[in-house]
Amino acid sequence: MNTSKAKVDVVLGLQWGDEGKGKIVDVLADNYNVIARFQGGPNAGHSLKFGETSHVLHSIPSGIFREGTVNIIGNGVVLDPIIFKEECIKLEGMNIPVKERIRISKKTHLIIPTHRIIDAASEASKGKSKIGSTLKGIGPAYMDKTGRNGLRVGDLLAADFRERFEALRNKHFNFLKQFDFKYDPDTDLEKWLDAAEYLKNFELVDGEYLINEELKAGNSILAEGAQGSMLDVDFGSYPFVTSSTTTCSGSCLGLGAAPSSIGKVYGIFKAYCTRVGSGPFPTELFDQTGEQLRKQGHEYGATTGRERRCGWLDMVALKYAIMINGVTDLIMMKADVMDNFDTIKVATSYVVNGEETKCVPYDTYAEVTPIYKEFKGWNTPLSSIREEKDLPTEFREYIAFIEKETGVRISIISLGPDRVETIVR
Ligand code: IMO
Ligand code: MG
């Protein structure tokens, strides 16, 4: 049994992804020995900025820029060797010793090129009801995992790997027959095999042992979530979700950490909301204000470049996510985007089928009308503020309202993309 006090603290997004997890993990990473990704894959785009350097990570944990950190890619992740290699080569170009800092669980599932083809064929066949997937092969790779067909990183070391790889490809070709979809069966084949060889240069580990040994040695771990709680395969707006457990329990599943080893749960949310891809978004704005949020917040996908849908903060969804995750600390991002807004709105309840409710409805297709509370804007640039005492009164009122409604303290306020644009309370 682990008797040390070291814990696995978890950072996760409480909305529909893109909350700013990359920046916060990078800020917090100094306090941790180990940073670990536990789910998702290259559908994620975690942006970091320090000084002149801006960087987007897709499959590599956001602790990679910190000297002395161990960055684990956990068993719950799905890994595309091609994207991983490209990321590593970029980082090596910046003199980051990736091979020293990264460990990959042998139980991590592999995304192979035909997973991406299936993703594309499946989305194309759905027409208007498409999920809006990033088309990185995430869903098909998780289908193979739970369907017990998948290939894992550890399998790369097996003598018969190539045969198993071909067998899976053949299953995929058979599966693809149901779609009226044209594709080149050898897309990225050589590139993938080459990248898979490259992967073998890394320390491939029994991640669950490594995590528990680190805890036993008194080393604290930060688990880095991808996507957001409202995209969770169980608790999100199914079927407009991703294919993994993005909520707190996913960190146990995806790393082999016992539930009792979880310490703090940092829930990140933006001071407004965004969503990319299809699915319900009750507070979405289709007007000038929505456009202003998109422009001022640079709300374009870090992975796909798509325009993000923008809207007001949704307390119904936020409180739901806080409940599911057991959030201990809130982290608020990007309030500075609304610096020049005269009025700011927050949805405090919904009207569904003529009745007011504070719950997220089961029916993904239900028509939801939000009821808003209005706040006076602060009309002050926040980004240059470094001390809590210098925050404008209207902004403090906004924060106080969120803390009162959720019952959780906002312990970090981020007021810009750079590491230094952060107030720790
Ligand atoms: P980070 O970690 C925002 C969305 C997609 C789509 C749905 C399913 O950067 O916050 P998938 O590719 O998983 O099949 O897509 O989930 N999605 C994200 N949205 N941020 C992400 O990651 C996302 N990863 C997936 O747009 O609606
Ligand atoms: Mg993103």
Ligand 2 center–CA 89 separation, angstroms: 21
pLDDT for position 286: 98
pLDDT for position 277: 93
Identity (one letter) of the amino acid at 308? Answer: R
pLDDT for position 1: 57
pLDDT(104) > 90: yes
Ligand 1 center–CA 338 separation, angstroms: 24
Q: How far is residue 152's CA from residue 107's CA, in Å, rounded to a whole number?
A: 6
Model confidence at 337, pLDDT cuts 50, 70, 90, reads very high
Tens of pLDDT along 226-236?
999 999 999 99
Determine the residue of 227, 270, 273, 275 to mutate for testing ligand 1's pocket, defined as the one with the most ligand atoms within 8 A of the Cβ atom: 227
pLDDT for position 198: 98
CB 319 within 8 A of CB 348: no
For tokens 């995430």, the residue is 138
Q: What are phi and psi of 319, to 5 degrees?
A: -65, -35
Q: How far is residue 414's CA from residue 376's CA, in Å, rounded to a whole number?
A: 20
Model confidence at 302, pLDDT cuts 50, 70, 90, reads confident
Query: Among 331, 283, 274, 314, which Cα is nearest to 405's?
Result: 314
pLDDT for position 71: 98
pLDDT(400) > 80: yes
Average model confidence (pLDDT) for the chain?
Answer: 97
> pTM here?
0.97
What is the mean pLDDT of the segment spanning 43-49?
Answer: 94
Tens of pLDDT along 159-205?
999 999 999 999 999 999 999 999 999 999 999 999 999 999 999 99
CB 138 within 8 A of CB 109: no
pLDDT(5) > 90: no
Residue 189: count other Cβ atoms within 10 Å of its Cβ: 15
Q: What is the 3-state secondary structure (H, E, C) of the chain?
A: CCCCCCCEEEEEECCCCCCCHHHHHHHHHHHCCEEEECCECCCCCEEEEECCEEEEECCCCCCCCCCCCEEEECCCEEECHHHHHHHHHHHHHCCCCHHHHEEEECCCEECCHHHHHHHHHHHHHHHHHCCCCCCCCHHHHHHHHHCCCCCEHHHHHCCCHHHHHHHHHHHHHHHHCCCCCCCCCCCCHHHHHHHHHHHCCCEEECHHHHHHHHHHCCCCEEEEEEEEHHHCCCCCCCCCCCCCCCCCHHHHHCCCCCHHHEEEEEEEEECCEEECCCCCCCCECCCHHHHHHHHHCCCECCCCCCECEEECEEHHHHHHHHHHHCCCEEEEECHHHHCCCCEEEEEEEEEECCEEECCCCCCCCCCEEEEEEEEECCCCCCCCCCCHHHCCHHHHHHHHHHHHHHCCCEEEEECCCCCCCEEEC
Helix axes 161-176, 113-126, angle to 10 degrees: 10
pLDDT for position 50: 85
Q: How far is residue 61's CA from residue 39's CA, in Å, rounded to a whole number?
A: 11
14 lines ligand 1 (CB under 6 A): no
Q: How far is residue 249's CA from residue 148's CA, in Å, rounded to a whole number?
A: 22
pLDDT for position 136: 98
194 catalytic per annotation: no
Model confidence at 4, pLDDT cuts 50, 70, 90, reads confident
Question: In the chain, what percentage of residues exceed pLDDT 90?
Answer: 96
pLDDT for position 3: 65
Tens of pLDDT along 192-207?
999 999 999 999 999 9
Contacts of 297 (CB under 8 A, 6+ apart): 270, 272, 274, 310, 334, 337
115 catalytic per annotation: no
Higher pLDDT residue, 246 or 2?
A: 246
18 lines ligand 1 (CB under 6 A): yes
Selecting among 26, 46, 58, 144, the annotated active-site residue is 46
pLDDT for position 51: 85
Determine the residue of 242, 269, 281, 298 to mutate for testing ligand 1's pocket, defined as the one with the most ligand atoms within 8 A of the Cβ atom: 242
pLDDT(2) > 70: no
Model confidence at 424, pLDDT cuts 50, 70, 90, reads very high
Q: How far is residue 122's CA from residue 152's CA, in Å, rounded to a whole number?
A: 23
What is the mean pLDDT of the segment spanning 112-139?
Answer: 97
Model confidence at 303, pLDDT cuts 50, 70, 90, reads confident
